[in-house]
């Protein structure tokens, strides 16, 4: 019999899939590292596991403790899964702009979800930063992973994602492309690939137009999970050889093409990273091997990127293309 004891034991070792239709006319090989194959559905399972194990080792997280983190999405799912495996409780703090569906996913895994108002400054006592700090302090056995400052985040990629890609490509990777949120993925994976290749592998960060990583001032954008308006300590500024800024429109267009043409139903930050990867690959010779990391699946975005009316509302699709229930009934 072949089985694991718990679904959390399946984190990592995600496959590489060659991109075909969207990479038409490109001579280089473009490979996608598809992170939705992780058991919680995203790349964040990797950091959840490593952050929890590091905190157990340092004594910050004690048996029966409670994990308290401001998160509305992928990190919460990863933490909830690891918490179940190891007997911890979870309290997640979400801003009220986060959809009810996303909060319900976290509750389904057994987490407690606290909702805070979005329209207050970060230092306001009701902001989700303040509330999470207070709950972490006041909850018996409380521990806050803080994915934006926790070095176990980039470390999980240095020890996992990087070596996996090197091995899967037989050391033939020439370029690595990933979106930057906390910066953990690009910093940890990038550092490993630079070290193992003596600096040969080029590291390219993909960033939403307006975010600080590509020189923006924090202007709002719609792609989720990437870009920041501050510099987290989990991001190593010395790793990227190049940063490519991508617009929301191009990101979403590619996200939809990935589902339609590659049968990869992935999230908006995956479309963004793919746009950057193809831009880089287009300039490269046949023997180049570009690996682009796709952080999550597309099911969490059905009401947005994959919804014609939502896309039209932001001007990403012409209004005529949006079909509604009314159209069908007529
Ligand atoms: N895409 C999505 C959907 C994410 O949730 C994240 C994590 N914030 C990223 C990309 C970026 O990854 P990282 O935090 O490792 O930079």
- Alpha-carbon distance of 190 to 68, in angstroms, equals 29
Q: Does the pLDDT at position 320 exceed 80?
A: no
Report phi then psi at 42, rounded to 5: -155, 170
Contact 311, 280 (CB under 8 A): no
Ligand 1 atom with minimal separation from the 224 CA: 3
What average pLDDT does this structure show over 195-205?
98
Task: Tell whether pTM > 0.80.
Answer: yes
Residue 329: pLDDT above 70?
A: no
Which residue among 33, 44, 48, 148 is best mutated to probe the pocket of ligand 1, counting the most ligand atoms within 8 A of its Cβ? 44
Beta bridge partners of 178: 205
- Got the DSSP string for 237-252? TTS-SEEEEE-HHHHH
Cα–Cα dist 133/146, whole Å: 10
Mean pLDDT along residues 67-81: 93
Joined tokens for residue 197: 């290749």
The DSSP bridge partners found for residue 66 are 89, 142
Taking 70 as the threshold, does the pLDDT of residue 230 lie above it?
yes
In this structure, the strands spanning 202-208 and 175-179 are parallel
The 3-state DSSP class for residue 110 equals coil
Cα dihedral 102→107→113→119 (10° resolution) = 20
**Quick one: average pLDDT of 64-79?**
94
33: tokens are: 């590292």
Q: Which residue lies with its CA nearest to atom 11 of ligand 1?
A: 181
Integer angstrom CA distances of residue 55 from 174, 276, 311: 35, 35, 42
Place of tokens 């979800």: 113
Q: How many beta carbons lie within 10 A of that of residue 64, not counting itself?
A: 11
Report the distance separating Cα 227 and Cα 305, nearest Å.
Answer: 18
Q: State how far Cα 142 lies from the chain centre.
A: 25
Cβ atoms of 14 and 34 closer than 8 Å:
yes
How close is the Cα of 287 to the center of ligand 1, in Å?
A: 29
182 alpha carbon – ligand 1 mean position (Å): 7
- Mark 207-230 as b/e (b = at least 16 C-beta within 10 Å): bbbbbbbbebeeeebbbbbbbbee
CA of 184 to the centre of ligand 1 (A): 8
Q: Is 173 helix (H, G, I), strand (E, B) or coil?
A: coil
Choice among 30-39, 131-140, 212-221, 288-297 with the minimum mean pLDDT: 212-221
0.85 surpassed by complex ipTM: yes
Band (pLDDT 50/70/90 cuts) for residue 127 is confident
d(CA 255, CA 274): 8
Tell me the mean pLDDT in the region 53-68.
98
Average pLDDT over residues 14-19: 98
Mean pLDDT on 113-129: 87
- Read off the pLDDT of each residue in 266-295 and give the average, rounded to a whole number: 98
Instruction: With CA atoms as reference, report the closest residue to 207 among 128, 279, 297.
Output: 279
Ligand 1 pocket, mutate which of 41, 182, 236 (most atoms under 8 A from CB): 182
Mean of all residue pLDDT scores within the chain: 94
The H helix count followed by the E strand count for the chain is: 11, 10
Strand locations in the chain (E): 16-18, 29-34, 66-70, 89-95, 112-116, 142-143, 175-179, 202-208, 242-246, 289-294
Confidence of residue 294 (pLDDT cuts 50, 70, 90): very high
What is the pLDDT confidence band of residue 12, given thresholds at 50, 70 and 90?
A: very high
- Nearest ligand 1 atom to alpha carbon 181: 16
40 — pLDDT class (breaks 50, 70, 90):
very high
Active site residues: 44
Q: Which ligand 1 atom sits nearest the alpha carbon of residue 75?
A: 5
**Looking at the predicted structure, is the pLDDT value of residue 330 above 70?**
no
């Amino acid at each position: 019999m072949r089985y694991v004891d718990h679904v959390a034991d399946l984190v990592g070792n995600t496959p590489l899939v060659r991109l075909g239709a969207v990479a038409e006319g490109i001579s280089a090989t473009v490979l996608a590292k598809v992170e939705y194959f992780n058991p919680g559905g995203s790349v964040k399972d990797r950091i959840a596991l490593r952050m929890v194990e590091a905190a157990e080792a340092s004594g910050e997280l004690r048996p029966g403790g409670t994990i308290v983190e401001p998160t509305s999405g992928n990190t919460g799912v990863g933490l909830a899964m690891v918490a179940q495996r190891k007997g911890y409780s979870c309290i997640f703090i979400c801003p009220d702009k986060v959809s009810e569906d996303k909060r319900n996913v976290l509750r389904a895994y057994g987490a407690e979800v606290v909702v805070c108002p979005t329209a207050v400054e970060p230092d306001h006592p009701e902001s989700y930063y303040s509330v999470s700090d207070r709950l972490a302090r006041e909850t018996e056995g409380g521990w806050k992973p803080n994915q934006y400052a926790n070095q176990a985040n980039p470390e999980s990629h240095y020890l996992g994602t990087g070596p996996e890609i090197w091995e899967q490509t037989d050391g033939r990777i020439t370029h690595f492309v990933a979106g930057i949120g906390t910066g953990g993925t690009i910093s940890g994976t990038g550092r490993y690939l630079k070290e193992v290749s003596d600096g040969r592998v080029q590291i390219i960060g993909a960033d939403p137009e307006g975010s600080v990583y590509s020189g923006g001032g924090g202007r709002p954008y719609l792609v989720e999970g990437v870009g920041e308006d501050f510099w987290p300590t989990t991001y190593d500024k010395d790793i990227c050889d190049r940063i490519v800024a991508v617009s929301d429109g191009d990101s979403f267009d590619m996200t939809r093409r990935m589902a339609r043409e590659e049968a990869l139903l992935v999230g908006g930050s995956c479309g963004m990273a793919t746009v950057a990867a193809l831009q880089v690959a287009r300039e490269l010779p046949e023997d180049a091997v570009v690996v682009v990391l796709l952080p999550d699946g597309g099911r969490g975005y059905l009401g947005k990127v994959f919804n014609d009316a939502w896309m039209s509302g932001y001007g990403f699709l012409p209004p005529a293309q949006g079909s509604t229930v009314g159209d069908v009934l007529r």
